């Protein structure tokens, strides 16, 4: 199955952030970050937009052209800048939930490997399009250009973890958020 994939640009950032928020809406960590569901989609999309905009400039945002599916990658093979005004923008995006979002950032940073690699920050497929091979196509697309560079990610569900295992990733020791929500750090050797 051939899946057409294109590189997203700045004009795609809002759509991509909305897609990620929709795809991740059912995750336990999202309910932990934002216990009140009323503005969950809006707040998560605003949070994801910060990182998507940064990836457009300093990483790779790969979109399936005819379906809502995206992969957001950051090369961590050399020093890179942090997102512009990250702390201020995060606080504006998430408001009173800032403590839990900072906890998430701290956990991700604490468990992030130092060896050069590409970091898959997000792999998101709209719920109506899941189980059609789109996530696998996006992974294969980026893996083809890694040229001997390892890849790293944090799986946020057992289902996601299983997908990554099928694509050559190996589990590392899981870590938990304050409510016990697990993440599975995963490494794919070059």
> What is the pTM for the complete model shown?
0.94
Counting residues of the chain whose pLDDT is more than 90, the rounded percentage is: 92
Q: Where are the domains of the chain?
A: 5-143
Q: Among 45-54, 75-84, 105-114, 150-159, whose mean pLDDT is lowest? A: 75-84
Confidence of residue 117 (pLDDT cuts 50, 70, 90): very high
Per-residue pLDDT averaged across 90-110, rounded? 96
pLDDT score, position 2: 84
H/E segment holding residue 28: helix 28-33
DSSP tag of 96 = G
pLDDT tens-digit map of 127-157: 999 889 999 999 999 999 998 899 999 999 9
CATH class of 5-143: alpha beta
Alpha carbon distance 12, 123 (integer Å): 16
Average pLDDT over residues 77-94: 93
Has residue 64 got a pLDDT over 70?
yes
pLDDT at 1: 62
* Beta strand 175-176 pairing with 182-188: antiparallel
**Residue-by-residue DSSP string for 100-119:** HHHHHHHHHHHH---SSEEE
**Mean of the per-residue pLDDT values of the chain:** 94
Contacts of 79 (CB under 8 A, 6+ apart): none
Q: Residue 88, CB half-sphere, CA atoms under 13 Å: how many?
A: 2
């Amino acid at each position: 199955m051939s899946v057409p994939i294109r590189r997203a640009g700045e004009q795609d950032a809002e759509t991509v952030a909305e897609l990620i928020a929709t795809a991740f809406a059912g995750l336990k960590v999202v309910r932990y970050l934002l216990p009140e569901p009323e503005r969950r989609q809006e707040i998560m999309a605003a949070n994801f937009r910060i990182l998507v905009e940064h990836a457009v400039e300093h990483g790779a945002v790969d979109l399936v052209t005819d379906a809502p599916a995206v992969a957001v990658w950051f090369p961590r093979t050399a020093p890179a800048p942090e997102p512009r005004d990250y702390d201020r923008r995060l606080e504006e995006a998430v408001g009173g939930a800032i403590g839990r979002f900072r906890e998430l950032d701290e956990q991700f940073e604490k468990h992030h490997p130092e060896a050069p690699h590409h970091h898959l920050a997000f792999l998101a497929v709209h719920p109506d399009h899941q189980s059609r091979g789109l996530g696998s196509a996006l992974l294969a697309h980026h893996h083809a250009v890694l040229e001997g560079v390892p890849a790293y990610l944090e799986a946020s569900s057992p289902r996601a973890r299983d997908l990554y295992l099928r694509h050559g990733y190996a589990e590392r020791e899981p870590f938990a958020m304050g409510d016990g929500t697990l993440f599975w750090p995963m490494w794919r050797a070059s």
